[in-house]
């Protein structure tokens, strides 16, 4: 009799579980699968430099707006979006409010990369949402630094980064429960990994924000001069 092959030799190389095996770790899988990209995106955003001025902070918000806009449009148009729980907070309106609070009349113009992920399944949708929802955790860190450096609060330009501040872990825990419950098979997990990586790549494709004065914030210096 031929001995059974060890499970590891048949396990998918992307870390997905074989079909039918209970999964409680899709979120952990996605975290591991995107860790390198998260570090790359953090490295692109030189917070020390950007948070030295309101213009730099506005450029950071503009970067998030430009990166997020096509991703949120993709989510809204997704065939499974109707099944998402109500009350999902969209980031783009908050970013626009924050830019307005800083006195930036319009989102900084700039090239916006298209988000063309071909991912019709619910697992793809949840993979993309993992990145969008998870970024609120890092947002708290960014908001803390922005407050220290520039004094911005939820009312004066940090409502996007503080969007879950009232209940920092609640929405994230609920989202991870949904992710773990709905994304279970190896095929679903591979789809979620692809989608999460694609969402991070969207942020990596977007030109990095510059700390210089790419936008005008109010009150402009010497505004009252003739």
Binding site for ligand HEM (CB under 6 A): 27, 31, 38, 41-42, 45, 47, 130-131, 134-135, 137-138, 141-142, 200, 203
| Cβ proximity to ligand HEM, 46 vs 103, nearer residue | 46
CB of 43 to ligand HEM, least distance (A): 8
**Cα–Cα dist 119/213, whole Å:** 38
CA distances, 175 to each of 94, 152, 181, 205 (Å)? 20, 28, 10, 26
CB of 154 to ligand HEM, least distance (A): 18
* Cβ neighbour number for residue 160 with a 10 Å cutoff: 26
CB of 223 to ligand HEM, least distance (A): 31
* Cβ neighbour number for residue 170 with a 10 Å cutoff: 10
| Cβ proximity to ligand HEM, 83 vs 137, nearer residue | 137
CB of 151 to ligand HEM, least distance (A): 19
Of the candidates 49, 27, 99, the one whose C-alpha atom is nearest the C-alpha of residue 69 is 99
Of the candidates 128, 139, 64, the one whose C-alpha atom is nearest the C-alpha of residue 96 is 64
| Cβ proximity to ligand HEM, 78 vs 175, nearer residue | 175
| Cβ proximity to ligand HEM, 141 vs 173, nearer residue | 141
CB of 173 to ligand HEM, least distance (A): 11
| Cβ proximity to ligand HEM, 122 vs 133, nearer residue | 133
For 76, counting Cβ atoms within 10 Å of its Cβ (0-12 exposed, 13-18 middle, 19+ buried), the class is exposed
Q: How far apart are the first and last CA of the chain?
A: 94
Indicate the SS3 state at residue 102: coil
């Amino acid at each position: 009799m031929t001995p059974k092959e060890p499970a590891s030799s048949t396990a998918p190389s992307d870390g997905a579980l074989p079909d039918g095996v209970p999964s409680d770790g899709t979120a952990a899988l996605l975290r591991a699968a995107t860790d390198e990209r998260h570090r790359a995106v953090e490295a692109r955003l030189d917070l020390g430099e950007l948070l030295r001025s309101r213009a730099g902070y506005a450029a950071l918000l503009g970067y998030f707006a430009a990166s997020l806009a096509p991703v949120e449009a993709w989510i809204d148009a997704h065939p499974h979006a109707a099944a998402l729980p109500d009350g999902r907070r969209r980031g783009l309106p908050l970013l626009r409010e924050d830019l307005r609070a800083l006195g930036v009349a319009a989102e900084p113009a700039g090239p916006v990369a298209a988000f063309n992920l071909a991912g019709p399944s619910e697992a793809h949708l949840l993979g993309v949402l993992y990145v969008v929802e998870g970024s609120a955790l890092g947002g708290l860190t960014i908001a803390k630094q922005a407050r220290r450096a520039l004094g911005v609060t939820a009312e004066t330009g940090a409502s996007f980064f503080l969007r879950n501040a009232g209940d920092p872990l609640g929405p994230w825990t609920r989202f991870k429960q949904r992710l773990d419950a709905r994304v279970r098979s190896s095929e679903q997990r591979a789809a979620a990994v692809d989608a999460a990586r694609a969402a991070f790549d969207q942020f990596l494709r977007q030109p990095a924000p510059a700390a210089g004065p790419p936008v005008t914030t109010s009150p402009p210096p010497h505004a009252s001069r003739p």
